[in-house]
């Protein structure tokens, strides 16, 4: 959220950041050492605490677990919604309502009771708002990460869209032109499937023809940059660290989402990336001398040794944390403290959001 605010170009001072996750806080402090950071839950802040901050904008990513499609979808009965419910209870009682609000969550939030309470509270407080379901592909980044966003502004017009948009609205659809200087509270963390070189996915593994067609269309979308633009240079030196181990290749070869440097697509990276395979993110084919179709044709009939020999030729590796951060829109100035293990780096990135998407939404909100 803080990097998105910087990227947006909006003149702002972040008055405080709040998160309970100690690893996320270590990383945040490393990158923003001068920003006050409160290691506590939102519910741990009193109404007086909020009033003293006197902020103009709140950027928030409430816990997403109550709304994820693979979870129990407990919605407001899940204790992890307490932070959002607390904010909604507090908002009408603030001495000064924040002029701007941005909220991010997973797909699924849009049909929740929590979202209904959010909308009801915003209307009662005099906010106009837009709801948008958007992915980083909308800003040219070759990564799928569909998320729900809400941007709200105190407005006399009391206008709000009757539907959830699936693309960025035109600025005139949201509010009149202005460029204020704002102060903000920021939340460091949040929760969590080629035309130029004719790289075409083939029907292999456990893919359906529809999935293959979708990948072909994504790879042919010239509005998206290539994966190679987001890779670390000189990875040959450290490649062994990130190569998929033999057991992983043998067990999960048929469900891996494999991309090449010239592809214009990659699957959403989750907090389980690097530990689990299915649905956690794409892996990269580093050896282009071997055709993927030749590796997978008849693979199931091969012995384990033959399978491993074939699969190893592709040199499949995980994206590095730096590369995932690049695909998430983080600037090159972003870094991890040395003491943060790679597993934890993947985990916090998987729980994060796309910086460029949020920056675009902030620009729409205040300009």
- CB pairs under 8 A, 24+ apart, for 219-223? 219/194, 219/195, 219/263, 219/264, 219/265, 220/194, 220/195, 220/264, 221/137, 221/195, 221/264, 222/195, 222/196, 222/264, 223/140
Residue 146: half-sphere exposure toward Cβ, Cα within 13 Å: 11
CB atoms within 10 A of CB 130: 23
HSE value, Cβ hemisphere, 13 Å, CA-based, for 200: 5
Q: In Å, how far are 325, 343, 345 from 231, measured between CA atoms?
A: 10, 19, 17
Coil, strand or helix at 59? strand
What is d(CA 253, CA 247) in angstroms, rounded to the nearest whole number? 10
Handedness of CA 326, 351, 218, 292 (dihedral sign): positive
Distance (Å, whole) CA 280 – CA 324? 12
**Among this protein's residues, is 64 annotated catalytic?**
yes
Measured N-to-C along each axis, helices 342-350 and 22-31 cross at an angle, to the nearest 10 degrees, of 90
Helix (H) or strand (E) run with residue 57 in it: strand 57-60
Task: Report the alpha-carbon distance of residue 191 to residue 272 in Å, rounded.
Answer: 12
Place of tokens 């605490």: 49
The span from the CA of 142 to the CA of 223, in Å, is 9
Out of 30, 64, 125, 302, the active site residue is 64
d(CA 120, CA 333): 40
Residue with tokens 């996915």: 201
Query: Catalytic site residues?
Result: 64
């Amino acid at each position: 959220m803080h990097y998105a605010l910087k990227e947006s170009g909006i003149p702002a001072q972040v008055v405080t950041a709040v998160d309970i996750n100690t690893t996320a806080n270590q990383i945040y402090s490393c990158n923003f050492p001068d920003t006050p950071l409160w290691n506590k839950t939102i519910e741990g802040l009193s109404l007086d605490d909020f009033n003293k901050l006197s902020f103009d904008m709140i950027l928030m990513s409430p816990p997403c677990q109550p709304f994820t499609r693979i979870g129990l979808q407990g919605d407001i009965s899940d204790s992890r919604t307490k932070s959002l419910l607390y904010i909604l209870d507090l908002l009408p009682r603030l001495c000064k309502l924040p002029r701007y609000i941005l909220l991010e969550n997973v797909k699924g939030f849009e049909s929740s009771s929590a979202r209904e309470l959010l909308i009801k509270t915003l209307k009662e407080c005099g906010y106009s708002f837009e709801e948008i379901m958007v992915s980083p592909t909308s800003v040219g980044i070759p990564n799928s990460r569909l998320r729900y966003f809400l941007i709200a502004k105190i407005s006399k017009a009391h206008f709000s869209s009757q539907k959830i948009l699936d693309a960025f609205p035109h600025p005139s659809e949201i509010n009149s032109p202005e460029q204020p200087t704002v102060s903000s509270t920021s939340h460091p963390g949040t929760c969590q499937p080629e035309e130029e070189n004719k790289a075409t996915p083939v029907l292999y593994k456990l893919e359906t023809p529809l999935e293959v067609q979708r990948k072909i269309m994504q790879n042919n979308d010239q509005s998206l940059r290539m994966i190679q633009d987001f890779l670390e240079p000189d990875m040959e030196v450290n490649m062994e660290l990130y190569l998929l181990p033999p057991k992983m290749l043998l067990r999960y070869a048929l469900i891996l989402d494999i991309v090449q440097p010239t592809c214009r697509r990659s699957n959403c990276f989750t907090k389980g990336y690097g530990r689990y395979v299915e649905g956690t993110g794409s892996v990269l084919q580093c050896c282009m001398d071997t055709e993927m179709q030749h590796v997978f044709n008849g693979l199931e009939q091969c012995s384990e040794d033959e399978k491993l020999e074939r699969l190893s030729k592709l040199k499949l590796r995980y994206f590095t944390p730096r590369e995932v951060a690049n695909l998430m829109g983080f600037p090159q100035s972003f870094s991890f403290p040395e003491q943060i293990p790679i597993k934890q780096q993947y985990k916090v990135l998987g729980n994060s959001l796309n910086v460029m998407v949020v920056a675009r939404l902030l620009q729409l909100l205040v300009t």
